Amino acid sequence: MKSTQHLLLILLSGCFLFLGCGSESNSSNESDSKQEVVLGKIAIDNAWARPGSQQGKSAAYLRISNGTASTDTLLSFSSDAAENVELHESIEHDDGTTSMQPAGQQVIPSGEKLRLQPGGLHLMLINLKRDIAVGDSLQISLEFARVGTITAIAPVQIQQ
């Protein structure tokens, strides 16, 4: 039951991605000659988020694959489940301790992947608008300098 729902969500989000890309390349074809057509696409997969409670925090992870012919840059992040989303990085210090800090702007060269995973880069979901529990899903939108905004669905789960 659960997995069928997930599958449906994933399929639906896939459709939205297609629609988004399609309309964008159309508009750039017609009018603005400065804006080039972007060949290929940027794909997001392996998205998931940790559970959290309203007004609290959570972390989300995903993988970005730049399948376009050029470098792209991550500009901003948002989610339907949080007031604010920031890109953070957990870093290990020389004394063996770990802390996290806001991460700088991420540039993804053509053909490369950027992995957001536990213990490294992660999206902090700040001030959650609702409780998010295992089995829920939330939307995460990433804005890129060239391809625009891409939205992924992240199921809420516990790390194994």
Interface ranges with other proteins (CB under 8 A): 50-51, 57-59, 84, 86, 88, 90, 92-93, 95-102, 118-119, 122, 124, 126, 158-160
Q: Is the Cβ of residue 28 or residue 157 nearer to Cu ion in the bound state?
A: 157
> What does 97 interact with, of other proteins, Cu ion, none (CB < 5 to 8 A by kind)?
other proteins
Contact assessment for residue 75 and residue 146, using Cβ atoms and an 8 Å cutoff: no
CA atoms within 13 A on the CB side of 76: 5
Minimum CB distance to other proteins, residue 114 (Å): 16
For residue 124, state whether it binds Cu ion (rule: CB under 5 A): yes
Among 6, 100, 120, 129, binds Cu ion (CB under 5 A): 100
> What does 101 interact with, of Cu ion, other proteins, none (CB < 5 to 8 A by kind)?
other proteins
For residue 88, state whether it binds Cu ion (rule: CB under 5 A): yes
Please name which of 125, 132, 150, 156 lies closest in space to residue 53, comparing C-alpha atoms: 132
Residue nearest to Cu ion (CB): 88
Q: Is the Cβ of residue 33 or residue 160 nearer to other proteins in the bound state?
A: 160
CA atoms within 13 A on the CB side of 124: 17
Structural element, H or E, at residue 10: helix 2-30
Tokens found for residue 148: 């625009």
Minimum CB distance to Cu ion, residue 81 (Å): 16
Minimum CB distance to Cu ion, residue 86 (Å): 7
Q: Is the Cβ of residue 10 or residue 100 nearer to Cu ion in the bound state?
A: 100
| Distance set, CA 51 to CA 21, 128, 134 (Å) | 30, 10, 6
Q: Is the Cβ of residue 96 or residue 102 nearer to Cu ion in the bound state?
A: 102
Give the type of residue at 15.
C
Please name which of 24, 25, 47, 37 lies closest in space to residue 115, comparing C-alpha atoms: 47
